[in-house]
Amino acid sequence: MTHARQHQIQVVAHRGASEDAPEHTLAAYKKAIEDGADALECDVRLTADGHLVCVHDRRVNRTSNGRGAVSALELAELAALDFGSRKNRDSWKNRAEEPDWEFRPEDPEDTSVLTLERLLELVADAGRRVEMAIETKHPTRWAGQVEERLLVLLKRFGLDAPASAADSPVRVMSFSARSLHRVRAASPTLPTVYLMQFVSPRLRDGRLPAGVHIAGPSIRIVRSHPAYVERLKRAGHQVHVWTVNEPQDVDLCVELGVDAIITNRPRAVLHQLGR
């Protein structure tokens, strides 16, 4: 099923075009921009020597050819690893169609550890508006420092203090209300997203933590409790749903009027939305 009015729904590339290229690599984000994604999603962690890198897990074991915790490794140690070596070659085994784009890294940088600084440079050079959804990972041994370093870096790119949340090309996401509070305290106009794996009883009426105006429920929540989206909207919040990969889930998000779809398959979702 395709739709004609989906320009209102933002398509966000989850860890880049991560079904086609290794997650959180420059290759994945280049592909997402090429595919027309409206925004890029990334997770950030702090290295032992204070650099923000785009890595989802606490440890690098799953996504690279190395081992160890990101927080215990320096950037130079991470840069020596290959983050493309563990790409899941079976990602299409349950799909009826074959991929029409084969992952072939053109440069070692494409599969090296990706710093947030490098990703922001890529977005700045994209030639069109590409937004960023940056997730702070918790718990972390660097409590508070992740947000502090993030805001310093955003300031270097002129992204830390938008005139209003609606004008901002960057939003900060977290499952931690405390993390979002730190961000809002330092930069009140920077939009924040409260991510949810389940709905807390005290938030079932559509409320979010103080100062947060974007809800980030999982697609599992949306499937099980579609009326929750209506409650969030009635409370004046935007709804950004993750991780939406299946066509029937895209249709559900359209039917419910969500504001953003976060997906590993930005090209396929854009096609389904008629874009």
* Other CB atoms within 10 A of residue 108 CB: 11
Helices in the chain by DSSP H: which ranges? Answer: 26-35, 75-79, 116-124, 145-156, 177-186, 219-224, 226-234, 247-256, 266-272
Question: Which residue's entry shows tokens 């955003």?
Answer: 154
Distances (CA, A) of 105 to 21, 65, 84, 92, 179: 9, 16, 8, 19, 35
Q: Is 56 part of the annotated catalytic residue set?
A: yes
* Distance in angstroms (rounded) separating the CA atoms of residues 244 and 65: 28
Active-site residue among 14, 24, 51, 237? 14
Q: Is 213 part of the annotated catalytic residue set?
A: no
Question: Which residue's entry shows tokens 């929540």?
Answer: 221
Active-site residue among 24, 51, 56, 240? 56
Query: Do residues 142 and 57 touch, judged by C-beta distance below 8 A?
Result: no
Query: Do residues 16 and 34 touch, judged by C-beta distance below 8 A?
Result: no
Residues acting as catalytic residues: 14, 56
